Structure 1
Amino acid sequence: MPFRNIEEFRSLVIAYATRGRSIFKMSASFKARLAKFEELLEQEKINFDDFQKACFNGIPDKPGIRSICWKILLNYLPPKKTLWKELLSERREAYKQFLKEMIIKPGCAGESNASSDHPLNPNPQSEWSQYFKDNEVLLQIDKDTRRLLPDLGFFQRATKFPFKDVVDSSSDITLRKRVEQSIIKAEDVAKNRLGITNVKAKTKLPTYEFGYNPLEDGQEAHWEVVERILFIYAKLNPGQGYVQGMNEIIGPIYYIFATDPDVQWEEHAEADTFFCFTNLMSEIRDTFIKTLDHTSVGINAKMKFVMTQLKKFDLALWLRLNGQNLQAEFFLFRWLTLLLSQEFPLPDLIRIWDSLFADNSRFDFLESVCCAMIIIIKDELLEGDFSANMKLLQHYPSIDVNIVLSKAFSLRESQQK
C-alpha cells in the first residue's frame, strides 16, 4: 500500500507496535490468571476465600477450568479435594436411583402393583393418577427445553453419554415416548348411563415454533437430558415444582459441564448438573414462588432495591423512568428471576455468572449489575419516550460485558462505603 509521506508510514508502524504490546499484555495477564487458578486448584485443600475472590474477577476461559470452579462455587464439591471421589460416587449413584424411582411407569414395579392399580382407577391417589399429572408437567418442560438456546445448536446435537436405561427403545420409562403420547386425565374417565367406560383425551401434544427431527432410538439430544433433569427436580420438589424459566438457568450450567474436555467429567454432566442446579435453586427459589412476591425475600423487594439504588446513584434517570411510569416489573422481573440469562449472549452471560456464583453475599451483586445496566444506557433513556425506553430495556443493547461489570463493581463499592 503506498504512503503519502514518511509520517504516515511511521504512524502505522507505531499503531501496529502498540497493538502488539497490548496483545502481549493481554496474553501475559491471561497466563498469570490461569497460573493463579491452577495453583489454587492443585492444593489438597483449596483456600476458599482466595478462590472465591479469584472467581469473582473472572474464571479463565481454558476448557475444563470453569466446570470445576462452578461445581465448587455451587457447593457441590467441597474445598477438601480428598473428599471428591467418594462424594461424586455417592451422588451420581443417588441420581441414578432417582431416575429409576421417579420415571418408572405405574404397574412396572411388580405384579401385585399392576393388579391393584390401572389407568382407569378413579382414585386420585393412585399411581396412574399421579402419572397423568406428571405428564402435564413434563409437556411444559418439554416445550421449554426444545427451544433452549436455539442459536447455539449444541442442545439439538446428540450427547455422547445417553442414559441407556432410560432411552432404550424397548423401555416403558422413556420420557420421549411419554411426550409423544396424548395425556389422558384420570378425571376424564367416567361411565355413561349404560355402564360403558368413556375415556376422553382433552390435552393434545404441543406445537412448536420450529421443526424438530427426533434422533434414532438409543440416542438423545442434549435438550432431552436437560428435560430429564428438570423433570426429576420437579418430582423431588413438589412444593415448588417446575416453573417456566428454570430451563434458562439450568441450560448454561449443563453446557459448561457437558463440554468439559475431561471425559470423566463430561460423562457425568447430567448428575452433576442436577445437584448444582438444585443447590442454586435453593438460594434463588424465593423469586420463583409467587406467594412470596410481596415479602421481604420475594421478587418485588429485589426490584424495589434496584430502583432505590438507581435513585441514589442517578436521580435524574430515576425521575425520567418514574415520570414515564415505566415500572420495574416490565423489565427487572425477568432480569432478576432468570439471572440475566435472556439479556446477554452466552459467552458474556457465563462471565457474569462467574461473579454471581462467587458473590460473597450470594447474588446481591446481581442487583448491582442490574442497576449498572440501566445507568450505562442513561443517554438513550433520557432521550427516549415510553415506547422506545420500554423496547430498550426489554431488548438490552449489545454492550461490552466488561463495561457492565466494571460499573457494577463501582456501584457496589460505593454502596459499601
Structure 2
Amino acid sequence: LKTQWQTQSEYQLARNSRLREMIHSIDKDVPRTDRHLPEFKYEDSAGLTAVRELLLAYLMLNFDLGYVQGMNDIASALWLVFRDEALTFWAFAHWMEDLEPLYAFDQHGIENQLKLVSTLVRFVDPHLMHQLERANSTHFLFCLRWLLVFFKRDFDVSGARKIWEVRG
C-alpha cells in the first residue's frame, strides 16, 4: 500500500483530482498534529512522518472513504502507543472499520450517533435536555469532535488513552 502512493507519477496525479485533494488535505492536517508533544514537535519529526505515511497508505487501502479531518488525530495517538509503522497502520485500519460510518460522506453514521447522544441525555439528565431545548441546541453538534476523535483533543494523552481503552 505504501508503494502505491509512493509510485504515483506526476502524470497519474494530474489525472486524479480526488487523490490530489486527499493528499493536499493530509499534507495540510499532519503538520498541525500534536505539535505540543515532543514526538511531533519538529517538521521532520518521526511521528509526523509516520502519521503522514500511514494516512497515505490508508488512502490506498480505502480510497472510497479516503481521508477525513480527524483521522490524523487517531493515527497519531495510535503511533504513540505502538511506535511501529506496520502495527500502527493495521491498528488504525481496524479502528477505521468500526469508525467508517462516522466519517462517511453521507453522514448517516454521525447523525445516528448524535441521535443516540440526544436519547442518552434525555434519559440521564432531563433537566439538561430541557435547557438544551430552550437554547435551541438539541442538534448536539457541539459533540461532533468528541465522537470523531474520541476526546483526543479534549484530554491529555494519558486521559485520552483511558477513554480509548474503555472503547476497546
TM-score of the two chains, using structure 1 as the length reference: 0.38
Q: Is the 8 A contact 1:154 1:222 kept in 2?
A: yes
Check 1:309–1:239 CA distance in 2 against 1; reply closer, same or farther (3 A cut): same
- 5 Å-filtered alignment, 1:9-408, equals 98-106=1-9, 119=11, 127-130=12-15, 133-156=18-41, 212=43, 215=44, 221-258=46-83, 269-293=84-108, 298-357=109-168
Check 1:304–1:132 CA distance in 2 against 1; reply closer, same or farther (3 A cut): closer
Q: Is the 8 A contact 2:30 2:51 kept in 1?
A: yes
Matched residues in 2 for 1:128 and 1:242: separation? 16
Matched residues in 1 for 2:121 and 2:103: separation? 24
Q: CA shift at 1:229, angstroms?
A: 0.7
SS in 1 for 2:152: coil
Q: CA shift at 1:338, angstroms?
A: 1.5
Check 1:309–1:231 CA distance in 2 against 1; reply closer, same or farther (3 A cut): same
**One-letter code of the match for 2:133?**
N
Q: CA shift at 1:139, angstroms?
A: 2.1
Check 1:144–1:274 CA distance in 2 against 1; reply closer, same or farther (3 A cut): same
Q: Is the 8 A contact 2:40 2:47 kept in 1?
A: yes
Query: What fraction of aligned residue pairs are identical, expressed as a percent?
Result: 27
Q: Is the 8 A contact 1:250 1:277 kept in 2?
A: yes
CA RMSD across the alignment: 2.0
Matched residues in 2 for 1:289 and 1:130: separation? 24
TM-score of the two chains, using structure 2 as the length reference: 0.89
Matched residues in 2 for 1:143 and 1:229: separation? 15
Check 1:245–1:309 CA distance in 2 against 1; reply closer, same or farther (3 A cut): same
Check 1:327–1:135 CA distance in 2 against 1; reply closer, same or farther (3 A cut): same
Task: Name stretches of at least 5 consecutive residues in structure 2 with no aligned partner.
Answer: none
Could you give the per-residue CA deviations for residues 201-224 of structure 1, whole angstroms, max 9, x where no partner exists? xxxxxxxxxxx5xx4xxxx63201
Q: Is the 8 A contact 2:26 2:52 kept in 1?
A: yes
Q: Is the 8 A contact 1:156 1:221 kept in 2?
A: no
Q: CA shift at 1:128, angstroms?
A: 4.7
Q: Is the 8 A contact 2:129 2:138 kept in 1?
A: no
Matched residues in 1 for 2:137 and 2:124: separation? 18
Could you give the per-residue CA deviations for residues 10-50 of structure 1, whole angstroms, max 9, x where no partner exists? xxxxxxxxxxxxxxxxxxxxxxxxxxxxxxxxxxxxxxxxx
Check 1:221–1:135 CA distance in 2 against 1; reply closer, same or farther (3 A cut): farther
Check 1:248–1:314 CA distance in 2 against 1; reply closer, same or farther (3 A cut): same
Check 1:278–1:318 CA distance in 2 against 1; reply closer, same or farther (3 A cut): same
Matched residues in 2 for 1:128 and 1:290: separation? 22
Q: CA shift at 1:131, angstroms?
A: 6.2
Matched residues in 2 for 1:103 and 1:314: separation? 51
**One-letter code of the match for 1:322?**
E
Match of 1:62 in 2: none
Larger Rg: 1
Q: Is the 8 A contact 2:4 2:60 kept in 1?
A: no
**One-letter code of the match for 2:70?**
G
SS in 2 for 1:290: coil
Q: CA shift at 1:102, angstroms?
A: 2.9
Q: Which structure: greater helix fraction?
A: 2
Matched residues in 1 for 2:21 and 2:123: separation? 46
Q: Is the 8 A contact 1:144 1:244 kept in 2?
A: yes
